[in-house]
Structure 1
Amino acid sequence: MKRKGAEMKLEKLVNYGSREAVIQNLKDAGCTPEMMECIMAHLDEDDMGELLKLLEQYRSCLLGTVHEREKQIDCLDYLVYQIKRNKE
Structure 2
Amino acid sequence: MYGSIYQNLLDAGCNQQTADQCMVLVKENRFTDMMQILARYRKTLLSSLHKSQKQIDCLDYLLYKIKKL
Bin of the TM-score, shorter chain as denominator length:
over 0.9
Q: 2:24 aligns with which of 41, 55, 68?
A: 41
Deviations 1:16-56 (A, max 9, x none): xx211111111110110000011011111111221110010
When normalised by structure 1's length, the TM-score is: 0.75
Structure with greater contact order relative to length (CA < 8 Å, sep ≥ 6): 1
How many correspondences in the alignment? 69
The Cα shift of 1:83 comes to 0.3
Give, in whole Å, the separation in 2 of the partners of 1:27 and 1:62: 14
Q: Which has the larger radius of gyration?
A: 1
Give, in whole Å, the separation in 2 of the partners of 1:79 and 1:73: 10
Q: 2:9 aligns with which of 18, 26, 40?
A: 26
Gaps of 5+ in 1: 1-17
Percent sequence identity is 39
The Cα shift of 1:60 comes to 0.7
The alignment's C-alpha RMSD in Å is: 0.8
Q: Which runs of 4+ in 1 moved over 4 A?
A: none
Gaps of 5+ in 2: none
1:77 alignment partner in structure 2: 60
